[in-house]
Amino acid sequence: MINAAIIGVSGFGRTHYEDIVREYHQKRVNIAGATIINQEEEKDKCDFLKSIGCRLFTDYNQMLEVLRGKIDICFIPTGIALHAPMSIAAMRAGANVYVEKPLAATVQEAAAILEAERETGKFVAVGYQTMYQPETRKIKEYILSGKIGQVHTLKTYGLWPRNVEYYQRNAWAGQLKSSNAWVLDSPFNNALAHYLNLLSFYAGESFARPAAIAFVQAGLFRAKPIRSVDTAWIKAVTGDAKTLLFYVTHSCAEQQGPLGSSRK
- pLDDT at 249 (0 to 100): 98
The pLDDT profile of the chain, 264 residues, written as one tens digit per residue, is 999 999 999 999 999 999 999 999 999 999 999 999 999 999 999 999 999 999 999 999 999 999 999 999 999 999 999 999 999 999 999 999 999 999 999 999 999 999 999 999 999 999 999 999 999 999 999 999 999 899 999 999 999 999 999 999 999 999 999 999 999 999 999 999 999 999 999 999 999 889 999 999 999 999 999 999 999 999 999 999 999 999 999 999 999 988 766 555
- pLDDT at 262 (0 to 100): 59
- pLDDT at 251 (0 to 100): 97
Domain ranges, residue 149: 130-263
What is the CATH classification number for the domain harbouring 254? 3.30.360.10
- Which sign, positive or negative, has the C-alpha torsion 187, 192, 194, 199? negative
- pLDDT at 257 (0 to 100): 83
The total of structural domains in the chain comes to 2
Last residue of one domain, picked from the residues 69, 96, 127: 127
Residues 120 and 153 in one domain: no
Would you call 261 exposed, middle or buried from its count of C-beta atoms within 10 A (0-12, 13-18, 19+)? exposed
What is the CATH classification number for the domain harbouring 108? 3.40.50.720
pTM metric for this prediction = 0.93
Residues 63 and 150 in one domain: no
Question: One-letter amino acid identity for 255?
Answer: Q
- pLDDT at 117 (0 to 100): 98
Residues 56 and 171 in one domain: no
DSSP secondary structure letter of residue 103: S
- pLDDT at 263 (0 to 100): 58
CA–CA gap between residue 105 and residue 125 (Å, rounded)? 16
User: How far from each other are the two terminal CA atoms of the chain, in whole angstroms?
Assistant: 47
CA–CA gap between residue 94 and residue 139 (Å, rounded)? 36
Residues 153 and 167 in one domain: yes
Residues 42 and 21 in one domain: yes
Last residue of one domain, picked from the residues 78, 104, 127: 127
Beta carbons within 10 angstroms of residue 70's beta carbon: 15
Residues 11 and 108 in one domain: yes
Last residue of one domain, picked from the residues 127, 157, 173: 127
Residues 102 and 184 in one domain: no
